[in-house]
Structure 1
Amino acid sequence: MIKLLSAMARIVGAVGLAFAAPAAFAADYPTRPVVMIVPFAPGGSTDLVARLVAAKMSDALKQQVIVENRGGAGGNLGAAAVAKSAPDGYTILMGTVATHALNPALYKKKAYDAEKDFAPVTLLVNVPNVLTVNPNFEAKSVKELIELARKEPGKYAYASSGNGSPLHLSGALFEKLAGVKLIHIPYKGSGPALVDVIAGQVPIQFDNLPSSVEHIKAGRLRALGVTTAQRAPSQPDIPTIAETLPGYETYSWNALFAPAGTPKEIVDKLHDAGVAAVNDPMVKAKLSDASAVIVGSTPDELAAHVTKELAKWAPNVADSGAQID
């Protein structure tokens, strides 16, 4: 009887430790560096936001937050890697409208479930897109670009960060509303696309405003219009495309996600560090200069945002005719 009671006590103790271990683990988190996966090539808007945020999150978490670019498949490769990672808070994703709203509608083979495979942390910023051209390109306004494209359908090409990306769909919507035919040239991220547009290899680009704004200020690119319904506060001289094409609107966003199953205590620590980062005066100033609009949502608000974005973008992807096997 004594042996039986002793054995039962050991079982109860083991069960208690099993339940206590995650709590203790979460309380100590983080004890080593955290990897933030950016699912696109360096040099784009998502990379810019990630590096600003990661540096300040490192201060808040008292462990280094390391940015790792893992591009490919329009963001699917990096997002899937995080979805399959251990739910321990040491691998997180800088997600976007592409990874959590467009790709689920774009790809026939699903690399992950945008809602079920992630623990939402915080929506960091909303990001305007912008239509730019090489300074030597003859069109100096959205109206002139439309006139040129209508005269010679299929002659002019535009660059984007990849097939099915928000920037590709920005171009597809422009073609649809303007009644023009452009050639889409997809790149593996905004960075490589920017290089070719600045060099004059491709005349037109749809890009996130933060990654293009310094080139616009320096005269290396000419901005024809932002894609949001209102002008960007930091660049009020750039008209909206909607001023020429009523009803035109697209945008991007950046948010932090952890793998599904990550303990709430860890999600909360990541949330607090992320929100503190975007509200740091230096980061806030740099993001505002780049026309990123700071949000800093709760995890529940980000979850609701993803659900809403999935419903919004699915018909837009279908209308564009874009689909990838």
Structure 2
Amino acid sequence: MNRRKVLVGVAGLAGAALARMPAWAQEQYPSRMVMVVCPFPPGGAADVFTRMVAEHLAATWGKPFVVENQPGGGGIIGMTRVARSAPDGYTLTLSSTGPLAVNETLYGDKLAYHTLRDFAPIYQLTITPNVLIVNPKRLPTIKTVADLVDHLKKNPGQLSFGSAGIGTSQHLAGEYLQQVTGTRMTHIPYRGTSLMLTDLLGGQIDLAFENTGPALPYIRNGDLRALGFATASRLDIDPGLPTIAETLPGFEATAWHGYLAPAATSPAIVDKLAKEIRVFANKPEVISKCAELGAIVQVDSSPAAFRTFIADETQRWKKVIEAGNIKAG
């Protein structure tokens, strides 16, 4: 056998091996510990969702899925770490609206990653609706979205709205409201939800958009008044509360979470993870637990659907950020 035939034979064997790699990778994965980076502090919704999925995957496949919180920079520090990790399926992340669909516009070239270039979306796990809330003592006559819009038009710049920080879903929802109504408010950014809610309850600010989980207890005891959900349709948790879209057609502003891997991770591994997370998401106890946290579980996501969703959200919030001339803090 001459040298050329030997080389051709070796090349053929290598090609066959490469062709089988996706199936092999899927069958063998995971063979060791998987690190799951949560780019937010412990105790929040993102941390809870991350750990719920990680525990399910560990129990299913018999390998540890270790969650490590790496907060900072609005999720940028943890996300940058994952983007630079080996695309072998052994470093994953659960992230949310800001790091995935907002930061790219907010920070531009200063951002060390670009979501759809540097990550492989796996599964969109939840949507967390925002609700528009006011302090009823400061705004006793404002009981509906229409009341608020009318008041804002008659008193431009007089009301303040709080958020959990610049570029958060709460902030962008407030900016979006001003843009679609042609009104103006003063934005007061806080370092997180707790401080913002404290000042809203104390009357230091007038209104806010907030995730349903933290807001519902105060709505139910009457300390805050809900004007509407920022969702496309009414929610089972309070079917009597209208959506903002019933007054302002098309208005929607939600937070969301999903699992991702570094770009170039084997599609076989991504698909295996997506299928198992889908099994997790369809468990009644998971749906119930997430509902307690104010989140709606997505029971039929996929890598392709999540990628399309991120792209759409990025473009939608890009328009709001640019129209509002919003700059990173």
TM-score by length of 1: 0.81
- Structure 1 residues 217 and 276: CA distance shift in structure 2, 3 A: farther
The one of 217, 234, 239 aligned to 1:236: 239
Q: Structure 2: how far apart are the matches of 1:266 and 1:107?
A: 31
Amino acid at match of 1:307: A
Match of 1:174 in 2: 177
1:187 is matched with: 190
Look up the SS of the partner of 2:187 in the other structure: strand
| 1:120 counterpart SS class | strand
> What is aligned with 1:29?
29
**Paired position in structure 2 for 1:271:** 274
Give the conservation status (yes or no) of the 8 Å contact 1:130–1:227.
yes
Once the two structures are TM-superposed, the CA of residue 48 in structure 1 deviates from its matched residue by 4.2
Distance 1:14 1:177, change over 3 A: closer
Confirm or deny: 8 A CA contact 1:45 1:211 kept in the other structure: no
Quote how far apart the aligned CAs of 1:323 are: 2.9
Q: SS where residue 315 of structure 2 aligns? A: helix
Structure-1 separation of matches of 2:254 and 2:71 = 20
- Asked whether the 8 Å contact 1:108–1:324 carries over to 2, the reply is no
Any conservation in 2 of the 1:48–1:211 contact (CA below 8 Å)? no
CA contact (8 A) 1:149 1:180 kept: yes
- The more displaced of 42-51 and 309-318 is 42-51
Residue 122 of structure 1 corresponds to 123
Whole-Å separation in 2 of the counterparts to 1:181 and 1:210: 27
Tell me what 1:39 maps to. 39
1:78 maps to which residue? Answer: 78
Q: Any idea what SS the aligned residue of 2:228 has?
A: strand
The 5 A counterparts of 1:311-322 are 311-322=315-326
1:18-51: CA deviations, max 9, x gaps? 9999976654433444333333344544344334
Distance 1:137 1:317 in 2: 29
Residue 280 of structure 1: how far off its partner (Å): 1.5
How many residues matched? Answer: 325
**Aligned-CA RMSD value:** 3.6
Q: Judge conservation of contact 1:124–1:296 (CA < 8 Å) in 2.
A: no
TM-score by length of 2: 0.81
Partners of 2:151 and 2:88 lie apart in 1 by 54
Measured in 2, the distance between the counterparts of 1:172 and 1:85 equals 35
Q: Could you say which residue in structure 1 is the equivalent of 2:69?
A: 69
Q: What corresponds to 1:257 in structure 2?
A: 260
- The share of aligned pairs that are identical, in percent, is 36
On the 8 A contact 2:163/2:188 being kept in 1, the answer is yes
Q: Does 1:87 align with 2:90?
A: no
Post-superposition CA distance 1:182-216 (Å, at most 9, x none):
22222344354345434555442212223433443
Q: Distance in 1 between matches of 2:255 and 2:246?
A: 20
Alpha-carbon distance in 2 for matches of 1:264, 1:176: 40
Instruction: Say whether the 8 Å CA contact 1:124–1:255 is kept in structure 2.
Output: yes
Q: Which moved further from structure 2: 171-180 or 190-199? A: 190-199
Gaps of 5+ in 2: none
Displacement of 1:261 in angstroms is: 2.0
Q: State how far apart, in whole Å, the 2-side matches of 1:92 and 1:39 are.
A: 11
Structure 1: which 5+ residue stretches go unaligned? none
**Which residue of the partner structure matches residue 113 of structure 2?**
112
Cα pair distance change 1:228/1:12, threshold 3 Å: closer
Measured in 1, the distance between the counterparts of 2:248 and 2:43 equals 30
Among 296, 300, 312, the residue aligned to 2:300: 296
Summarize the Cα distance change of 1:83–1:177 in structure 2 as closer, same or farther, 3 Å threshold. Answer: same
Distance 1:201 1:48 in 2: 30
Q: Following the alignment from structure 1 to structure 2, what is the Cα–Cα distance between the partners of residues 305 and 182?
A: 30
Structure 2 CA distance, aligned partners of 1:37 and 1:199? 36
Distance 1:321 1:217, change over 3 A: same
Amino acid of the structure 1 residue aligned with 2:314: L
1:211 and 1:99, CA in 2 relative to 1: closer, same or farther beyond 3 A?
Answer: same
Q: How far off is 1:125 after superposition?
A: 2.3
Question: Partner amino acid for 1:80?
Answer: T
Find the residue that maps to 1:87 and give its secondary structure: coil
- Classify the secondary structure of the residue corresponding to 2:167: coil
C-alpha contact 2:25 2:269 (8 A) present in aligned 1: no
Q: Residues 243, 218 of structure 1: CA spacing in aligned structure 2 closer, same or farther, 3 A cutoff?
A: same
1:324 alignment partner in structure 2: 328
Residues in 1 aligned to 2:16 and 2:68: alpha-carbon distance in whole angstroms:
37
